[in-house]
Amino acid sequence: MRFEHTDRKGFWLGFIDFFTAGLFFVVYMKLGLQDELDEVLGRKTQRYYVAYLIGIPILFIYTLVWMANIAEELKAKAVELGIPGKHTSFWHMFGWNVFGIFLFGPMIATQRFFDTLNKVETELNRRNALKD
DSSP string, 91-112: HHHHHHHHHTTTTTHHHHHHHH
pLDDT at 52 over 80: yes
Query: What is the average per-residue pLDDT within 104-111?
Result: 92
Structural domain range at position 16: 10-122
pLDDT tens digits, 3-45: 888 889 889 998 898 888 888 989 988 888 999 999 999 999 9
Burial class (CB in 10 A: 0-12, 13-18, 19+), 101: exposed
Residue 5 lies in a domain: no
Residue 128 lies in a domain: no
Residue 4 lies in a domain: no
pLDDT at 132 over 70: no
Q: Is residue 25 within 8 Å of 17, Cβ to Cβ?
A: yes
Residue 30 lies in a domain: yes
Domain count for the chain, please give it.
Answer: 1
Predicted TM-score (pTM) of this structure:
0.91
Task: Identify the three-state secondary structure at position 81.
Answer: coil
Residue 83 lies in a domain: yes
